[in-house]
Structure 1
Amino acid sequence: MTEKEEKIFIKKLKLAMLESGFSQTSLAKKLGLSSTSVSKWITGENTPKISTLHAVAKAVGKPVNYFFSDDSTTQNIVGSHNNQNASKSNADLAKEFELLKAKQEVQALTIENLKLRLERLERKK
């Protein structure tokens, strides 16, 4: 997995977990893994095996390719969907707003994780 793919995977995994209501511990339990395994995926220390990735995708209700599509692709799909559904209810808009806030939080966490990884790498030198 390239560094770019790894970053996208981490961000998408966090977002999928938020959207589907999984914590690291609950996802690990659902998959029959340790919470340390899921934690290592989220920090970029490790990546899941292909068979495990299929199980993750099924658990969070996403196709496997979701975890590797970049934001521009995702934004284009979301933008197209929004144009088709211009008359949304306030409840739907509130839910979307909450999801967008969660996505921003995930992006901030991803940046923090990358900073921590860089610090660890610098300490190893």
Structure 2
Amino acid sequence: MSFAEAGAAAIAAGIDDMYQAFLAGDTDRFDEHLHEDVTTWETHLPGPLRTRRELDEYRTTRDSAGQRPRLVVLAATEKRIDVWGEFGVARYLLVAREDDAGPEQHSRVTDVLRRVDGRWRIVHHHSELVRR
């Protein structure tokens, strides 16, 4: 397996683990996949969040208002991952569902990753809700 293939496999596994951590409510494990300077751009956010600290502040406000999403499905599908040295880009469709009978919600996601101390960390996350 080439370095690029090994990197792509590690990135794919990390993305899957990140969303499993979200479903489990394990914020610490989720955050292990994020760089401290991660920028987060998502359709539902009040604006771009430019650091993990800003993301944490948003989460605190959201959670104290009782608005943390409760999902039964959160999975990255149709992954396409490329690696160039210490950098990688992952593009995928994120599928979310609030309950077993509810409709699926799809988002197009692009994550830019950097290898830091042997671990892939997301430095930029962009997610756009796909309107159907």
- Is the shorter-chain TM-score for this pair beyond 0.5, marking a shared fold? no
TM, length-normalised to structure 1: 0.29
Bigger fraction of residues in strand: 2
Larger Rg: 1
TM, length-normalised to structure 2: 0.28
Bigger fraction of residues in helix: 1
